[in-house]
Amino acid sequence: MDNNVLSKLTTGMFVVTSAFEDKTNAFIANSLVQVASEPTVLSLSVFGKNFSKELIQNSKKFNVSILSTDATIDFIRVLGYKSGRDVDKLAKVKFTKGENGVPAVTQGACGYLECEVINEVDLESCIVFFAKLTNAVYLDSKDPMTSEYYQKALEGKLPPSSPGWSARYVKEK
């Protein structure tokens, strides 16, 4: 089995925000996919030890900002490598509040999606949330960032706390 081919599974790049009681948080995700329409349903895989998993499980809500190629590697590092248990990541980026009361990051984003969790599946290392789209906001017509752009143009990597960690063996043939 050659895990190198997993690096060819191109995805989008997103910031997922959540809130529960007095806590708010944001993290980088590339595992979000639209899996149905009418109603529009998205799936998102969240690593089991991430702080965001607790906030989303408790609140049953999250927002997703679709990153554009304007987002910088430093911005992605702040949100994708540190835990909200240790730092207030939202204090370092621009955001607004969605209709659902959850923050939505506007910096380096094409727009954002407000989501309500309708189901979840436990995959041991990760939880996959299925969520219905409740609101969508268009911000910018810039190109969306892909995982390929992140890896090649920004020379970005995946941390062990991401569901796509097995795609880290990037070895161009």
Ligand X SMILES: Cc1cc2nc3c(=O)[nH]c(=O)nc-3n(C[C@H](O)[C@H](O)[C@H](O)COP(=O)(O)O)c2cc1C
Q: How far is the CB of 47 from ligand X (least distance, A)?
A: 4
Q: Can you name the residues that pair with 163 across neighbouring β-strands?
A: none
Is 95 among the residues that bind ligand X (CB under 6 A)? Answer: no
Q: Can you name the residues that pair with 119 across neighbouring β-strands?
A: 130
Q: How far is the CB of 38 from ligand X (least distance, A)?
A: 25
Interacting residue with ligand X among 7, 19, 28, 56 (CB under 6 A): 28
Q: Which of 42, 26, 130 is nearest to 88 (CA)?
A: 26
Task: State the binding string over 118-157 for ligand X (x if CB under 6 A, else -).
Answer: --------------------------------x-----x-
Q: How far is the CB of 125 from ligand X (least distance, A)?
A: 10
Candidate segments 24-32, 91-99, 105-113, 134-142, binder of ligand X by CB under 6 A: 24-32
Is 46 among the residues that bind ligand X (CB under 6 A)? Answer: yes
Is 51 among the residues that bind ligand X (CB under 6 A)? Answer: yes
Task: Determine contact, residues 47/163, Cβ cutoff 8 Å.
Answer: yes
Q: Which of 147, 137, 157 is nearest to 31 (CA)?
A: 147
Interacting residue with ligand X among 56, 64, 115, 158 (CB under 6 A): 158
Residues that bind ligand X (CB under 6 A): 25, 27-31, 45-47, 50-52, 76, 80-84, 150, 156, 158-159, 161-163
